[in-house]
């Protein structure tokens, strides 16, 4: 599916409008969602970094994939800088999600994993000693009780 994001800076209202379009019919873009943000809020997010801009623009109605959100955040930053354009249009194709590798900013990068960690040591640390006692399992209360001497006959069930 092809998508288009139109970003419009409205200096009179001091807002930023982001519209999401999708190609639902061949060669026709349909409006899916429109979100309006206060420029003050977005400017504060720009000062904190690209991840803050992505967090600020994502809502329940508009939640672009990370690859798209990074490009949208970059375009928004360009629009709100001094002398920036009034609007921007970004075009995406969902095929790009499969063809490109997402590069996470250094803030979200995981720490390097020690390859020589013994799995058994990890499991020993994770197991709670309370479950090693049979007493804990015997004291377990359950609302389901099975009669030991009443096993259903297969012919009776069918």
For the segment 58-115, what is each residue's pLDDT rounded down to a tens digit?
999 999 988 899 999 999 999 988 777 899 999 998 887 777 665 665 655 555 555 6
For residue 26, name the pLDDT band (cuts at 50, 70, 90): confident
Tokens of 14: 């001091």
pLDDT number for residue 112:
58
Of 91, 84, 96, 20, which is closest to residue 46 (Cα–Cα)? 84
pTM: 0.60
Distance from C-alpha of 23 to C-alpha of 20, rounded to nearest angstrom: 10
Helix (H) or strand (E) holding 124: helix 119-126
Question: What b/e readout covers 60-97, taking b as 16+ CB neighbours within 10 angstroms?
Answer: eebebeeebbbbbbebbbebbeeeeeeebebebeeeee
Q: Are 91 and 4 in contact (CB under 8 A)?
A: yes
Strand partners, 15: 10, 38
- pLDDT above 70 as % of the chain: 65
């Amino acid at each position: 599916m092809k998508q288009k994001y139109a970003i419009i800076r409205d200096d009179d209202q001091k807002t930023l409008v982001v519209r999401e379009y999708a190609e639902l019919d061949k060669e026709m873009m349909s409006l899916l969602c429109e979100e309006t943000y206060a420029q003050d809020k977005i400017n504060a997010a720009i000062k904190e970094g690209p991840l803050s801009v992505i967090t600020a623009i994502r809502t329940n109605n508009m939640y672009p994939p990370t690859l798209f959100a990074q490009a949208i955040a970059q375009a928004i930053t360009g629009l709100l800088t001094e002398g920036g354009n009034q609007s921007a249009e970004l075009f995406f194709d969902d095929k790009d999600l499969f063809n490109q590798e997402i590069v996470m900013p250094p803030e979200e990068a995981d720490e390097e994993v020690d390859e020589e960690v013994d799995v058994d040591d990890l499991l020993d640390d994770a197991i709670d000693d309370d479950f090693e006692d049979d007493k804990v399992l015997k004291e377990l209360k359950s609302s389901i009780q099975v009669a030991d001497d009443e096993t259903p006959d297969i012919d009776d069930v069918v």
